[in-house]
Structure formats: structure tokens, C-alpha cells
Chains A and B, each alone.
Chain A
Amino acid sequence: MNWVEENKKKAGKTKVILIIISVLFVFFMLVFPLVSVIANSLKEGFGYYIQSLNTKYVKSALLVTLLATVIAVIVNTFFGLLAGWLLTKFSFKGKQVLATLIDIPFSISPVIAGLAFIMTFGRLGWANPILESINQALGTDIQIVFALPGVVLATIFVTFPFVSREIIPVLNTQGKDEEEAAALMGAGGFTIFRKITFPHIKWATIYGVILCTARALGEFGAVAALSKTRGKTFTLPLEIDALYLAGSSDSITAAFSVSSLLVIIAIIVLILRNFFEHSEKVKGEKKEG
């Protein structure tokens, strides 16, 4: 036997061990919980499953969740596209600082995000008097904290960098030659963006939107701090929390039923993500070849 085969065999052993470790880890840590949610949700039978989803609380929570998610995705996509454009096509001082600031929501506790809005718009918040006077002048009763706007704001906060973070790396590798060429030919900013830049980041944007959606649907900590009324401002995760903490075995099963909705969405998101990433890779290979 020569050293090549020997080496291959040795590497083969390590390879098998490492693959087994990886598969076991992924299975127990990541797959098992998904399966467990579904199994728990069907514990009392399919009838109960449907029944536990068909309550006014769940329906209201679903609506609130969808509302917050749609707004957050729109706002953050708009922001992500602009921020990506700004951070990759221009040189200016403090660019790195700006990039870091945008990423803040990744590294702070969502509970603090909730607290931040309470301290801004809540009873003690400096913006509260402003809000009050607006309400007085317009005869409205807009509340932010413990109301829908707060839930929406909190959702936007925690998902703020999701789209930009997908776009920026792609634009960075693309450089800015094409844009400069177009600008020298006399194209306007919006035309350049639409015709030159966007085609490069189409997939990255879609991918960012998908991740942003997933995260927005599932946000818990920040929303929990800002939403107190079940059936009115509760999102699905808060409804799950309420059901789970009710403690009876029925309500815990109901909590898992509602969870299963979010698990299904999570799985769809994963599949879409892989699909987009794969098609992007295939495209990249074609380009190279």
C-alpha cells in the first residue's frame, strides 16, 4: 500500500467520524425540535388541532402578526436597498461606523428593543408629550406603546438589517464600475439602480426578504415588552406564550398547534432559501464557464 491510499484511508476514518458527529448534532439539536412541535401539536388528535387554531385569539394574533410582518418587510426592504446602494457605491467618511450601526439589532437583546420604544413613546418617554399634543390637535387617540404601532415598530427594529446584510456583500463584490459607466453615459440615479444595480441583487433581495419575513413572524422578546392585550395586540408568538403558560395540558397542546403553523413557515423559508441560493450558485457557475 502506498502513502496515497494510506492517507486516504486515514482521512476516510476522520471523515466518517466527523460526518457522524455533524449529522447527530443537526438531528438532535435542530431537526428533533421541529418534529417535536408537530408531534406535540397532534397529541390530542387532528380535530383538537383544528379547534385550537380556530379561536378568536389565534385569528386576531395571526392578523396582527401578518400586519407587522408585511410592514416590517416593506420598510426594511426599502431601507436595505438604499443602505446597500449607499454603502457600496459611494465612498464617505464613517462608512464603517454606519455599517456597524445598522447591524446593532443583531447584537442587542430584543427585550432592550422593546424597552427602547417604551422609553421613547411610553408614559416616561420624551416623545410622549409630542404624541399627546398631536393627538389633541387632531382629535385622535394614537398610542404607540402597548398598541399596534408599537408592535410594528418593534418588529421593524429587530429585523432592520436583514435585507441590507444580504445585499451588501453581493454589491461589494460587484464593484461600481458598471454604475459609473452608466452615469457617465448620462443615466439618472433611479435608472442606474433599476437597470444596472438591481439585476445583480435580485436574488439577494428576495433571500433577504424571506429571512426578514421569517424573523418578523417569530419575533417575541421585543413585541412581548410592547404588547399586553391578548386578542388585540398579541402576535402569534405571544399567543403561544399565553397558551403555554396557562399550563393545562390542553392549552399546552394548543400552544404547540399554533407553533406548528410557524414551524411550517420556517420549513418553507428554509426550502426557499436553499432553492434561491442554489439557483444563484448555478447562475454564478454559468457565468464563470
Chain B
Amino acid sequence: MEDNQEVVKTELNNSEGASNEVEETSKKRKTGKKTKRVIPGFGLSMGIVLAMLSIIILIPLASVLGYAFRLKPSDLSKILSDSTVQWAFFTSIWTAFVAAVINVIFGTILAWVLVRYDFPGKRIIDGLIEVPFTLPTAVAGITLSKMYSTTGEIGKPLSKLGLKVSYTHLGLIVALVFIGIPFVVRAIQPVLEKFDSQYEEAAYMLGATSRTTFTRVILPELRPAMITGFGLAFARGIGEYGSVIYISGNSAKEHTQVVSYIIMQKLERLDYSGATAIALIMLIISFLLLLFINIVQVRQSRRTNNI
């Protein structure tokens, strides 16, 4: 996301904070008094933030986990060994992966063009990058589905070439590319903006061609942001619902059902154990992706801090 740099900063602040705390606690020991923060309002804001976070996010999610952990292992394995469910996971993961890869390629190009070049209409292009953030997913879903159907504006010429998009995996990928592109662009853009031209000049002075400079000097700097963008687009893609359910066709036979669709189906049939079991796996995947993104960012901040 566009604030990935800032996350890094928060981390830095955080480590600073940690050292402050060490000082504070050592002071505490000496004076035996409770240390006071200079800026007032810590307790109150902490209390409200934690309360709201718990009520809105943590407790409901804990309810899902709580219910999931009460499922018998045999039930769990029965639900997850259902071939429809397994296919849905497979479909969600591989289409989201492919879409995220496509997004990293185009996202890098877009970010590069938006930061490095000047051309008429640049600001409009920059603004349009966020269409997927502001356009409701259901609207995107029905529109893409129509556009890429064999009678649609884009689907028709493609079908003449023998490419069917709507109601296939290709359609899923198209929808997920649409949804994921801003994540990648907004992850890379700030890094490129801050990128010091001295690095390029240094490579240049040493005899590097622009291609070598890009692959050896710029790309390594962009890689963490690209991975972050990839992770975010991938995470979003795996869980995506609104924009994919129309274009996918949701056919069990064609394996175009995604995990979110399966959860929704199970909810509609009041099969709560099924829905929860699948949600559990999804939450684990999300958690791992989040962890992965955080690790990448911490490592990046370690490599690039105070330099």
C-alpha cells in the first residue's frame, strides 16, 4: 500500500520507542515512581482504540476461530477433503497468484511511468489508478463480466481469436488484475519517488548502461516494494468476492468457483461448520501473507535505514 514506507517508519519509531522504554523502566526502578508521558491522553486513547478494535474486529474474528477450533478434527478433514472445496482453494490461489504477477509487471511499469516521465494527462492516469479502490466490487464484477462475455465489447473480438474470458479462469484473472493493480502501483510509487538519482549517476560513472543500471541498481531497491505490492494484491485476490463471482461463472465442473463463493454457499445452506472451517484456512493464509509482508518490510528497513 502507499504507506508501506511509513510502516517501516513506524517500525523505526517503534524500536526507538523500545529503547525509550528501557530508559523509562530503568528510571522507574531508580526513582520507584511511575513515569509520566509528556503528552496527555495516552490511557484514554489506548482504552478507546483497544475497545473499538476488539468489538469490531477482534471479537468477531475470535468467534470464528473459537468455533473453528471446536470442530472435531474428523469433521474438519471431511470438510476440507471435499474436492469442490479443494478445487476452490486451488483456483483462488493460482488465479490470485497469476494476477498478482501480472500486476507486479504492469504495476512497476505504471509506477515508473508516473514517477519518471512527464506527459500530458499524467495526473489523470495517476488518479485513475485508484478506480478499483473506489468502484464497488459488485459493479466492477457485473461490468467486467459483461465486457468480456462472448457478446461483450472486448469479449467478442477475443472470442473470434478463440479466447473465451468470461466464465473461465482467464476471466477470474482479469477481475483480479483489476482489483489488485492499485496495491502494486501505490507500493512502488513512493519508493521510486524517494530514489536518489545519485545511485543511477554512480552506476553511470562506473560504465553501466541504462539496462544494467535498472537491473543491478534500481530493481534491487524496488524489489521489497514489489514484493509488498505482490503480497497485498495476492492477499486481496485470494479473498476477493464481489468482482469475481459474476465473471467466474461459479461452475464446479469448470473449477471456476472461488473460496469466498464456497463460504457464501455454505452460509446460505446454513452449513456454519463448513463455512467456518474454510474461513479458518483462509485466515491462516491471510495471516501468513501479512507476516511475510511485514518480514519483507522489516528486512528492507534494516538494509536501508540511516543511509
Q: Do A and B bind each other?
A: yes
Q: Which residue on chain A has the smallest CB distance to residue B280?
A: A112
Question: Is B3 in the interface zone, CB < 8 Å from A?
Answer: yes
B residues 280-301 touching A (CB-CB < 8 Å):
282-283, 286, 289-290, 294
- The answer to whether A25 touches B106 (Cβ under 8 A) is yes
CA distance A116 to B242 in the complex (A): 18
- The answer to whether A188 touches B40 (Cβ under 8 A) is yes
Q: Which residue on chain B has the smallest CB distance to residue A244?
A: B142
- The answer to whether B17 touches A168 (Cβ under 8 A) is no
Interface code A113-124, partner B: CB below 8 Å = 1, 0 otherwise?
111111110101
Which residue of A22, A89, A101 is within 8 Å of B53 (Cβ)?
A101
- The answer to whether A221 touches B242 (Cβ under 8 A) is yes
Question: Is B75 in the interface zone, CB < 8 Å from A?
Answer: no
Known contacts A111-B260, A112-B279: does B242 contact A40 (CB below 8 Å)?
no
Surface stretch bound by A, among B26-34, B77-85, B122-130, B219-227: B122-130
- The answer to whether B61 touches A116 (Cβ under 8 A) is yes
- The answer to whether B241 touches A220 (Cβ under 8 A) is yes
- The answer to whether A86 touches B49 (Cβ under 8 A) is yes
| CB neighbours of B240 from chain A (8 A) | 109
- The answer to whether A172 touches B9 (Cβ under 8 A) is yes
Measured CB to CB, the closest approach of chain B to A212, in angstroms, equals 11
Measured CB to CB, the closest approach of chain B to A181, in angstroms, equals 9
Interface SS majority for chain A:
helix
- The answer to whether A270 touches B6 (Cβ under 8 A) is no
Question: Is A46 in the interface zone, CB < 8 Å from B?
Answer: no
Question: Is A15 in the interface zone, CB < 8 Å from B?
Answer: yes
- The answer to whether B128 touches A26 (Cβ under 8 A) is yes
| CB neighbours of A117 from chain B (8 A) | 60
Which residue of A91, A157, A269, A271 is within 8 Å of B20 (Cβ)?
A91
Measured CB to CB, the closest approach of chain B to A37, in angstroms, equals 5
Question: Is A163 in the interface zone, CB < 8 Å from B?
Answer: no
Q: Count the A-B residue pairs with Cβ separation under 8 angstroms: how many? A: 314
A residues 12-44 touching B (CB-CB < 8 Å):
14-15, 18-19, 21-23, 25-26, 28-34, 36-37, 40
A residues 188-239 touching B (CB-CB < 8 Å):
188-190, 192-193, 211, 214-215, 217-221, 224-225, 236-238
Interface SS majority for chain B:
helix
CA distance A83 to B138 in the complex (A): 30
- The answer to whether B60 touches A120 (Cβ under 8 A) is yes
Give the one of A86, A117, A273 with max B CB within 10 A.
Answer: A86
- The answer to whether B45 touches A225 (Cβ under 8 A) is no
Known contacts A90-B42, A104-B61, A156-B56: does B136 contact A224 (CB below 8 Å)?
no
| CB neighbours of B45 from chain A (8 A) | 82-83, 85-86
Question: Is A149 in the interface zone, CB < 8 Å from B?
Answer: no
B residues 193-239 touching A (CB-CB < 8 Å):
210, 232, 235-236, 238-239
Residues of A with Cβ closer than 8 Å to B? 7, 10-11, 14-15, 18-19, 21-23, 25-26, 28-34, 36-37, 40, 75, 79, 82-83, 85-93, 95-96, 98-120, 122, 124-127, 153, 156-157, 160, 165, 168-169, 172-173, 176, 179-180, 183-184, 188-190, 192-193, 211, 214-215, 217-221, 224-225, 236-238, 240-241, 244, 252, 255-256, 259, 262-263, 265-266, 269-271, 273-274, 278
Beyond the given A214-B133, A271-B127, please list 6 additional residue pairs across the A-B interface where CB-CB is below 8 A: A91-B18, A107-B236, A109-B263, A109-B282, A110-B241, A237-B242
Q: List 18 A-B contacts (CB under 8 A).
A: A10-B210, A25-B110, A30-B128, A33-B131, A33-B144, A36-B153, A82-B48, A86-B42, A89-B39, A90-B39, A100-B294, A115-B275, A127-B63, A160-B57, A168-B10, A169-B3, A169-B6, A211-B134
